Amino acid sequence: MQRDTAAQLAYCGIYCPVCSFRVACETGDRAHLLGMPAKYDPFKEGDLADCRCEGCKQDASCGPCAIKDCAQDRDLAHCGDCGDFPCEVLLAFQHDGIPHHFEAVQNLHQIRDGGIDRWLAEAARRAVCNVCGGRRSFYHRCRHG
């Protein structure tokens, strides 16, 4: 399924196609869920055939989100478009101890510097193993790295 490229970037700056939950849902490969922090344990249960995630711009799979609410209220494509970037809420998210949250602000800086199309192309390249073509996610890499 072809997705709108803007929907591949969460408001916070996370690249949705490498979300371990999303990749597990799309591929049926539970290995992507094994290394996720305990905070995500509720997502690790159930039949993967029934799960789906279209990203935070399409649904609320990850639950309530102050970042999403703020960006939607301000009619922003992502937090990097905000005049208050990076705000305290986004910086707290970046430093909340969840490893994949740390890269969010850096991603948004890169988007602001080089444009979203260039950043998305590079992110898409990194999301796939260049040896076997397997999907990478935040907490799972193929055997090639």
Tens of pLDDT along the chain (145 residues) come to 334 666 789 999 999 899 888 888 888 888 888 888 887 777 777 777 777 777 778 766 667 889 999 999 999 999 999 999 999 999 999 999 888 899 999 999 999 999 999 999 999 999 998 888 888 888 887 777 6
Dihedral of CA atoms 93, 94, 96, 99 in degrees, nearest 10, equals 130
pLDDT at 145: 60
pLDDT at 115: 93
pTM for this prediction: 0.83
CA distances from 1 to 4, 32, 33, 115 (A): 10, 20, 22, 24
74 phi-psi bin (left φ>0, alpha ψ -120 to 50, beta other): alpha
- 119 and 110 Cβ atoms separated by less than 8 Å: yes
pLDDT at 71: 94
pLDDT at 142: 76
pLDDT at 1: 33
Rg, Å, the chain Cα set: 15
CA 67 to CA 14: how far, in whole Å? 12
